[in-house]
Amino acid sequence: MKIYGNKQVVKRLSDYAKNNCLPHALLFFGDAGTGKRTLADYTSMLYFCLEKGGAPCMSCENCKRVEKHIHPDVVYASCADLNAEELREGILPTTFEKAVEGGIKVYIFSEFQLLNNVCQNILLTYLEEPSPTVRFILTASNRNGILPTILSRTAAIQTFKLSEEECEKALSDYGVKNAGEAAKTYGGNLGLALNAAKDKNAAVYIELTRELCGYIVEKNEYKAINLLLHLPQPKDDKRGPLKILVNETEKIFHDAFVIAMDGKPSLSCCPELSAKAAKIFPALALNLIAEETVKFSKSVTENNFNSKITANAFVSAIFNAMEN
């Protein structure tokens, strides 16, 4: 495992490890593709590495098993489809069980912002009274959907995309052809660039997101709805395409809001569109649009999901928000 970028994050984790004070609960938050999952694994290695120090050796048996996701004391849970019953009766009771061999157990919850408030409150009890033999690592694309009580009980660390030059070098290391072009297309986002190299659909969805947000910026509601109603419908993941577009739209308008407030954008797959939206819409409208996309990120994961109804409701909510 090699860590690209996020040097300050790695240094912070190293300082925790050297001082033997790794927090009982960590939150890595940042854009998809900026290394949150890798850093979660890296942190797990810090807990279990046989060569104690400020960085995992990555060569001992424990480090290798963590990297391969086969360590018996590391539990993984995706919050995109996690319900209260599974959390309360399936996952969390295992925190009271003795670790198989590592002395502690590590629980990694991915895309934590998608976990509903009921589930977050269930987990809160375990964060308020942490067991000395349990560690929690949360990853999230943003903090908007996370309860303040959860945030107050975790050490939050933001991840960032690479510079285009750093991304190009990393892509070259991975053997990606046209690494420079890919780094520029994805603005230094290594994860998105690698996904696009492996899966041509990833590049298609990013382009569709740009098209959708272009219609929103142009205030063309008809074209925006029409685009969403004619998204690809893969048999194995019918909600996937809409979910991707909703998530990427949130990042574009989040960055537009940041720009409108004289901040530095960091999430968007299309900074030009974010800058354009910041000029057209007031900050309040941009914030409301971003909030609506966060709500629909969760609705896409619900059991009663209907792509056409959700698409229509999503566009309607956005265009209502922009009127404020």
The residue among 301, 299, 302, 305 whose CA lies nearest residue 317 is 299
Sheet with strand 155-158: strands edge to edge:
74-78, 105-110, 134-140, 25-29, 155-158
Q: Is it the case that residue 8 has pLDDT exceeding 90?
A: yes
**Is residue 229 within a helix (H) or strand (E), and if so which, with residue range?**
helix 221-229
The per-residue pLDDT for 324 is 67
By C-alpha distance, which of 143, 126, 142 is closest to 134? 126
Distance CA 184, CA 187 (A): 5
Distance (Å) of CA 190 to CA 141, 163, 167, 260: 15, 9, 6, 26
| pLDDT score for 177 | 84
User: Could you identify the residue written with the tokens 């990297």?
Assistant: 67
* Predicted local confidence at residue 63, as pLDDT: 94
Pairing of strands 74-78, 155-158: unpaired
Q: Tell me, what's the pLDDT at 302?
A: 61
- pLDDT of 26 above 90: yes
Q: At what angle do helices 190-198 and 200-217 cross, to 10 degrees?
A: 120
Q: What radius of gyration, in Å, describes the C-alpha atoms of the chain? A: 20
- Bigger pLDDT: 68 vs 199: 68
Rounded-to-integer distance, Cα 36 and Cα 160, Å? 9
Q: 140 - beta bridge partners?
A: 29
Average pLDDT, the chain: 87
Give the per-residue pLDDT at 299. Answer: 73
pLDDT band at 267 (very low <50, low <70, confident <90, very high): low
- The CATH-assigned architecture of domain 7-158 is 3-Layer(aba) Sandwich (3.40)
For residues 69-88, average pLDDT = 91
Q: What distance in Å separates the CA atoms of residue 116 and residue 124, rounded to the nearest whole number?
A: 12
Give the residue-averaged pLDDT of 101-117.
Answer: 89
In this predicted structure, the answer to whether residue 230 has a pLDDT above a threshold of 60 is: yes
Q: How confident is the model at residue 269 (pLDDT cuts 50, 70, 90)?
A: low
- Domains of the chain by residue range: 7-158, 164-192, 199-321
- More confident call, 263 vs 157: 157
* pLDDT the model gives residue 237: 67
Please report how many Cα atoms fall inside a 13 Å half-sphere around the Cα of residue 77, on the Cβ side.
Answer: 26
Q: Say if CB 177 and CB 149 are below 8 A apart.
A: no
Q: Per-residue pLDDT for 183 more than 80?
A: yes
Nearest to 4 by CA among 178, 194, 184, 264: 194
- Assess whether pLDDT exceeds 70 at residue 101: yes
Measure CA 152 to chain center: 19
In this chain, the answer to whether the domains covering 7-158 and 199-321 adopt an identical fold is: no
Contact residues for 72 (Cβ-Cβ < 8 A; gap 6+)? 100, 101, 102
pTM over 0.95: no
Q: Can you name the CATH fold of 199-321? A: Zinc Finger, Delta Prime; domain 3 (1.20.272)
Tell me, rounded to whole angstroms, the distance of Cα 186 from its chain centroid.
Answer: 16
Q: Backbone phi, then psi, for 255, in 5-degree steps?
A: -65, -35
Q: What is the pLDDT of residue 272?
A: 83
